[in-house]
Chains A and B, each alone.
Chain A
Amino acid sequence: MRSKAGSAMTKVIVALLLAVAGVYLFVTAPPPLPDGTQSSACVPAEEVLAVLAAEGARVRELYTREIVGRGTAAGIRFDERWRERGLDAAPIPSLFLREIAAFVEGQGLGVSFFLGSDHPINEANRLRGAQAEAFARMKASLRPEVFRAPDTGLVTAMYPDLAIADACARCHNEHRASPKRDWQNGDLMGATTWMSSEACVPHARVAAMISALRGGFAHAYRRVLAKAATFERPPPVGALWPREGYLLPSVEEFMREVRRQTSEPTLDSILTLSSGAGPWPSAGARASR
């Protein structure tokens, strides 16, 4: 009888505790915390990454053709060891992009990008696993590949990297560590992988990401000029470009050209995102032209 009473008392106590918990959590609860991003006010990450990748590809082409290509012809040296003291060399395109990537990642917007290849000069840049499989498909289609990284959950979009300038194929063919020496203009040399920590990016953050990317362009180019200033014979910096001689444009001049080449297509893309009326131009579509 005593144990029956004890058991009943236990049930009553448990029921009271559950009732209190229910009141605490649900009945008289304070205003709820925001439940993440509202889907109606955000843009799918792969669409945002396409905009960023397209702008990045244009600037990469600008740097490769007009700074590296023309600069090499004018006597400016570009080398992968550009950071070494005493070596009068500016960064090669892939390392210029790495400077941009480090800046963008440091802005805390959850977006990052990397270069990779199945014939890398540096083995550390070899594509593996899911990226290698995606790249194999890309070789056939020359279209972007989008997937979700299984362990990190990051939205991952790979875009084709084509040899868009003579400097691309020439430097890779001549490099002592290159595993492939018959690259030609237009070849698929690798892929740029963009990643976003959010599956759906708030509209306000889209503008911040583009801003961060452009900040990265300026930051990386400032580093080019800072290194060039240490050369034994520093190239004059101003309004002129290497196509005019042993010269480098200022940051303002470089970014003016960046904006001239990217603003219109990026604005078109953003307007498409905002209106929800796709499809929009992607870096893959650009690469397949």
Chain B
Amino acid sequence: MTGRSHHGLGYAIGAIAGGIGVMIFATPGMERLSAPGPASPGHGALDCDDCHTPAPGSIRQQLQAIAGHALGLRTHAAELGMRPIGNDACTSCHERPDDRHPPFRFLEPRFAEIRRELAPERCVSCHAEHRGAALTAELDLCRHCHADLVLEEDPIEPPHALLVRVPRFDTCLRCHDFHGNHEGEAPTALSRSIPERALRDYLSGGPSPYPQPTRHPARKERPPR
């Protein structure tokens, strides 16, 4: 076989393999193969289109709108392919009326610096999907807003003032439920809080260390759009 026929054979094999791959990924029901990583805990039974919804229009219309916007022929561009994942994809199943840290709270202008550091106005900033973990932000995220915490009455042991000064913001979530979705009072001693190992396991997809079930459990099925 000559060099040219080797090249030709290689191109042919590559084209066939690529075509088979495209056919597999494009087959309905095989979308999971495109997922960049494992689902978050509790999301394993979801279908891709439970969160990933098509953007309005055909691909051609979308490209047309994007090109028109780039050329100044349109005021607004268009989303290409799929809509960006917004908070409504999360809150349609995870609705908490008493959320202590509702994401929309962080849209207020005075949280501009926090938005630059952490983007807490978006659920996925702390709960990124396809990583196989419930919490993907750092455990000491509370420092972004509460680094200057001062309490008139500080009855816990060790006191909050010490935990702030050291700092040990990685201990916050052992006593305080960020969204307030678990019943119970915060303990008055760190020694009676959730052990760090148990908390990290839980946030990585392990069993819940909370004694009580969640106040507002997630829906089992996505409500109709």
Q: Which parts of B98-117 form the interface with A (CB within 8 Å)?
A: 98-99, 102, 104-105, 107-110, 112-113, 115-116
* B91 and A32 contact, CB distance less than 8 A: no
* B76 and A35 contact, CB distance less than 8 A: yes
Which among A29, A126, A130 has the greatest number of chain B C-beta atoms within 10 A?
A29
A237 close to B (CB within 8 Å): no
Interface size class of A (residues with CB under 8 A): 35 or more
Interface size class of B (residues with CB under 8 A): 35 or more
Q: Which parts of B101-152 form the interface with A (CB within 8 Å)?
A: 102, 104-105, 107-110, 112-113, 115-116, 121, 145, 150, 152
Neighbour of A195 across the interface among B56, B98, B107, CB < 8 A: B107
Q: In the complex, which residue of chain A has the Cβ closest to the Cβ of B66? A: A25
* B62 and A33 contact, CB distance less than 8 A: yes
* A32 and B108 contact, CB distance less than 8 A: no
User: What residues on A are CB-neighbors of B107 within 8 Å?
Assistant: 112, 149, 152, 154, 195
Nearest CB of chain B from residue A57's CB, rounded to whole Å: 18
Q: In the complex, which residue of chain A has the Cβ closest to the Cβ of B79? A: A33
Number of A-B residue pairs, CB cutoff 8 Å, is 85
- Chain A window 124-165, contacts with chain B (Cβ cutoff 8 Å), 1 for yes, 0 for no: 101111111000000000000000011110101000000000
User: What residues on A are CB-neighbors of B105 within 8 Å?
Assistant: 114
* A102 and B75 contact, CB distance less than 8 A: no
The docked-state distance in angstroms from the alpha carbon of A124 to that of B110 is 10
Neighbour of B112 across the interface among A123, A151, A177, A193, CB < 8 A: A151
* B91 and A114 contact, CB distance less than 8 A: no
Q: In the complex, which residue of chain B has the Cβ closest to the Cβ of A39? A: B75
Q: In the complex, which residue of chain A has the Cβ closest to the Cβ of B68? A: A32
Q: A30-B58, A102-B102 are in contact. Are A128 and B91 (CB under 8 A)?
A: no
Q: In the complex, which residue of chain B has the Cβ closest to the Cβ of A38? A: B75
User: What residues on B are CB-neighbors of A29 within 8 Å?
Assistant: 60-61, 64
* A131 and B64 contact, CB distance less than 8 A: no
B78 close to A (CB within 8 Å): yes
A176 close to B (CB within 8 Å): yes
Q: In the complex, which residue of chain A has the Cβ closest to the Cβ of B62? A: A33
* A193 and B108 contact, CB distance less than 8 A: yes
User: What residues on B are CB-neighbors of A79 within 8 Å?
Assistant: none
The docked-state distance in angstroms from the alpha carbon of A36 to that of B79 is 12
- Chain A window 6-20, contacts with chain B (Cβ cutoff 8 Å), 1 for yes, 0 for no: 000000000000000
Q: A33-B61, A36-B76 are in contact. Are A176 and B109 (CB under 8 A)?
A: no
* B58 and A83 contact, CB distance less than 8 A: no
* A105 and B108 contact, CB distance less than 8 A: no
B57 close to A (CB within 8 Å): yes
Q: A30-B58, A33-B61, A83-B98 are in contact. Are A149 and B67 (CB under 8 A)?
A: no
B65 close to A (CB within 8 Å): yes
Q: In the complex, which residue of chain A has the Cβ closest to the Cβ of B55? A: A33
Would you list the 5 A-B pairs with minimal beta carbon distance, nearest first? A36-B76, A128-B110, A105-B104, A33-B57, A149-B109
Interface residues of B (CB under 8 A from A): 56-58, 60-65, 67-68, 74-76, 78, 88, 91, 95, 97-99, 102, 104-105, 107-110, 112-113, 115-116, 121, 145, 150, 152
Can you show 21 pairs from A to B with CB atoms below 8 A apart? A24-B63, A25-B60, A32-B68, A33-B65, A35-B65, A102-B102, A106-B91, A114-B105, A127-B110, A128-B110, A130-B109, A130-B110, A130-B112, A149-B107, A149-B109, A151-B112, A156-B109, A177-B152, A193-B108, A193-B109, A195-B108
